[in-house]
A = this chain, B = another copy of it.
Amino acid sequence: MSRTTMMIDPGLPTGLFTDVVASHGEYVELVKFGWGTALVTRDLDRKIAVLREAGIGFYFGGTLFERYLWGGRLDDYLALVERTGATHIEVSNGTIPLDQEAKAGYVRRMAAHRPVLSEVGYKDAERSALLTPADWVGAIEQDLAAGASLVITETRESGRSGMARPDGHLRDDVLAAVLAAVDPSRLLFEAPTKDLQVELIREIGPEVNLGNIAAADVLGVETLRQGLRGDTLLQFAPADFPRSRTVSVA
């Protein structure tokens, strides 16, 4: 998988979900049904059919994995994955008490069922702030060694925890250490705000994998990647332009 944009579905109504996929689906590689929304979504099967039709992968938020694990019902979780045809499994320890070592064990177990997206970082800003750059690198490398297809760097919806600081910008020390040790094509950076999207595209390039993109921002992220928005326009040489896949101006 290369140049992944992961869109989060925080509970879109079914018609709007379908509309987004029909209009912008070509710019979306993965959809995450955020946290446990899948369990209260009446039309989950219809949404899944829309994604299957469009050739877009999907999975459930790590919080749902954690909820089942915490309840001692991992078999039920795997049954849900099987029944729905989820294409990936996210393994995380963002909320429940589960140390990195144990989490890596679940990465290994789940990888027997689906490609695993493992997550590093906590939802709680204070807990995440205590993670050193070396902690981040160590956890990412351990998850990859355990068989994760991609490692997700946590930055929850507010854009102010996980790899982001309370001011909404990236922790530069963490990012530098991670990029020195890991190929960014193995990472999926959660980037729910435009500030984070711009920082990551400027730093890593237009092909960076971005996640937790809101439906309303899918097209905006694509313009950032292509230098079609003020924030990244000057990064592209004039001759690069345009690279549009959809509009011919000739």
Complex Cα–Cα for A216 and B228 (A): 24
Task: Known contacts A16-B19, A96-B234; decide if A223 and B71 are in contact (CB<8 Å).
Answer: no
Residues of B within 8 A of A220 (CB): 10-11, 34, 37
A218–B11 CB distance below 8 A: yes
Total identical chains: 3
Interface presence of A246 (CB below 8 A) = yes
Q: Per DSSP, are chain A's interface residues mostly helix, strand or loop, or mixed?
A: helix
A180 at the interface (CB under 8 A from B): no
Contact A40 B223 (CB under 8 A): yes
* A159 interface hit (Cβ, 8 Å): no
Chain B residues within an 8 Å CB radius of A76? 249-250
Query: Cβ of A247: which chain B residues have Cβ within 8 Å of it?
Result: 38-41, 44, 80
Q: Which residues of B contact A194 (CB under 8 A)?
A: 157
Interface string of A1-28 (1 = CB under 8 A from B): 0000000001111111011101110110
B-facing mask of A218-250, CB < 8 A → 1, else 0? 111011001111110110001101101111011
Bound complex: CA A27 to CA B72 (Å)? 28
Closest to A11 in B: B219
The residues of B that contact A14 with a CB separation of less than 8 Å are 19, 22-23
Q: Determine if A185 is an interface residue (Cβ-Cβ < 8 Å).
A: no
Nearest first, the 9 closest Cβ-Cβ pairs linking A and B are A11-B219, A36-B228, A15-B19, A13-B23, A71-B238, A95-B230, A13-B19, A39-B244, A71-B241
